[in-house]
Every structure is written in C-alpha cells, then in structure tokens.
Chain A
Amino acid sequence: MSSTNELEQFNGFSVGDDLPQLLEKVDQSMIDAYADASGDVNPLHVDPEFAKTTIFGGTIAHGLLTLAFVSRVLSAWNWQGWAYGGELDIVFLGPVRPGDTVRVCAKIDAIEQREDSVYARCSLACYCGEKAVVKGTVISKI
C-alpha cells in the first residue's frame, strides 16, 4: 500500500480552491454529433420517437458527453497534470436532456504527497439546474 502525506498547499494550489466552472448547453444536435463521433447511436440518444417510449420520455445525452465537459475543465485548469496521470471516479445520477445546461463544479478537497508526485484530489459535481447528474472525484497531478 502506498503512503500519502496530506498538504494544505503546493505549487500555487490550495485546499479549498474552486476550479473554473463550466456551463455548456446541450441540444439534440450536440447529442447527435457525439453519437456520430463516438459511434454510440443508441436510439435512446438519437431517435426522439423511440425515446418517447422509454422511461425517460425523450432523448437523453450520452453520460460520457458530460465527462467530456469534465475533462475540458480539468484540461483548462491543469493540462499536464490531468492528461498525464489524471484520475476520475464518478457515478451517473440522472439524465441530461436536450435544452439542459450542464454546470461542472469542482473543488480541491485534499493535496496528497504520494511516492511519485503530488496530487490534488477534487470533489466533482455536474448539475442541470439544481439537480446533480454526475458526482464523484477527480485527481490531477500538480
């Protein structure tokens, strides 16, 4: 088991810092574009008539589209530490529907000195309005 040592701040980063927030409006054309890009053309995402017959009552975005927004936040905040050693651990809590605006929020909860490097552990939540659609943790080298 690797040992960690918790710090209050490191390299200009401090426990309690908010990461820049991201707001992204999702519409059906964005969902369709993600379906084309990812190859995931599940009718729940791209066929409004089919989606009406499901428990969602309409199309919903791919959960992984929301993770793309999370990755944009981490990339803009600390590219090197995210792309080369970042970690994500999330739960999908609810759907994102066409017309929703996704708000990505993250905050540094801890700074950990591990054997190989120093990492910021951040709490993460993505909201549509007041409703959380994704929650979890992201970790970035700092």
Chain B
Amino acid sequence: MSDFVTYASLVEGDDFLNPPVPFEVNQNVVDWYINATNDTTAELQEVDPQGDRIAPPMLAAVYVIDALRTRVGPPGGIHAKQRFKLHRPAKIGEKLYTSANVLKLYERKGRNYVEMTTETKNQTGELITSGLITRIWGKE
C-alpha cells in the first residue's frame, strides 16, 4: 500500500496542508538543534527582555520540513531550492502552525517540479516565517 502523494494529484492553488500542522517549540527541540549544528550564537543562550528564550532562526527548516513530511511524495524526491523570510525567531513555549499552498507545477528535463509557498504562524496567528520550497517530485 502506498501513502505517497502523487504528482498527478497536485493542483496549483490547492492547500497542501489542511489543517496547518502544529509544532511545539520546546527546550529539547532547541537544544538538540543547537548541539547538532554547533550553533554558539550568544543570543540563543540569553533570555530576552520579555523573559523568553528564543530558538535559532533556521529552526524554520525543522518545523517547515516537519510539517511537509506529513504528506510526502514517492522516494527519490530532491529538495532543489529554498526561500525563507524570517519575520522573527520562534520562542520556546510557542506552538507553531505551518500551512502550505501549491504555487506552481511544471516539468523540466523529464522531472516533475513542485513549488509550494509556506507560512508558519504561532498560536495567536503571528507570522513567524514564510517561504517558498521547490521540490523535484520522486518518480512513481
């Protein structure tokens, strides 16, 4: 049985993640990421004026891909391009919700490309990260 999302089932303009996928930013997630990436940025060890600890900006790569991984294409797909706009870093304790929309579908050199816009907001609807991901869809 295959649970893969087929290229043929994708439609430009469709929501790819509905409802948006939640992600909890907790201390463990942030510590694992900081350790795995050798990130020694001083600001990540501090508490901000509001008493919050913040996550590395590029944790975006984790919570966005984590959300997209809930609906995957066939094996062999390739992450070709990535855009991110970092509106602000996520904070430990926030719950994030990532949505995605199919922007463009096209074929080049026999490969199927999928462009999706993504938006990640926190539990109050504040925009944290927006992006555009281009994937080469795996062969079915």
**A interface residues (Cβ-Cβ under 8 A, vs B):** 24, 30, 33-34, 36-40, 63-65, 67-72, 74-76, 79, 82-92
- Residues from chain A with Cβ under 8 Å of B66 in the complex: 38-39
Contact count A vs B, C-beta below 8 Å: 108
- Residues from chain B with Cβ under 8 Å of A38 in the complex: 33, 36, 61-62, 65-66
With A64-B65, A82-B57, A87-B84: A69-B37 Cβ-Cβ less than 8 Å:
yes
**B interface residues (Cβ-Cβ under 8 A, vs A):** 29, 32-33, 35-41, 43, 54, 56-58, 61-62, 65-66, 69, 78-89
A92 near B65 with CB under 8 A, answer no
- Residues from chain B with Cβ under 8 Å of A69 in the complex: 37
Report the Cα distance A104→B5, complex, angstroms. 35
With A24-B38, A69-B37, A72-B39: A87-B65 Cβ-Cβ less than 8 Å:
no
Report the Cα distance A72→B43, complex, angstroms. 11
Report the Cα distance A34→B34, complex, angstroms. 9
- Residues from chain B with Cβ under 8 Å of A79 in the complex: 41, 43
B80 near A91 with CB under 8 A, answer yes
Q: How far is the CB of B34 from chain A (nearest CB, A)?
A: 9
Closest to A35 in B: B36
A71 near B58 with CB under 8 A, answer yes
With A68-B56, A69-B37, A75-B43: A37-B83 Cβ-Cβ less than 8 Å:
no
Report the Cα distance A71→B55, complex, angstroms. 12
Report the Cα distance A69→B57, complex, angstroms. 11
A90 near B81 with CB under 8 A, answer yes
- Residues from chain A with Cβ under 8 Å of B56 in the complex: 68, 71, 75
Report the Cα distance A20→B57, complex, angstroms. 18
B85 near A75 with CB under 8 A, answer no
Q: How far is the CB of B138 from chain A (nearest CB, A)?
A: 12
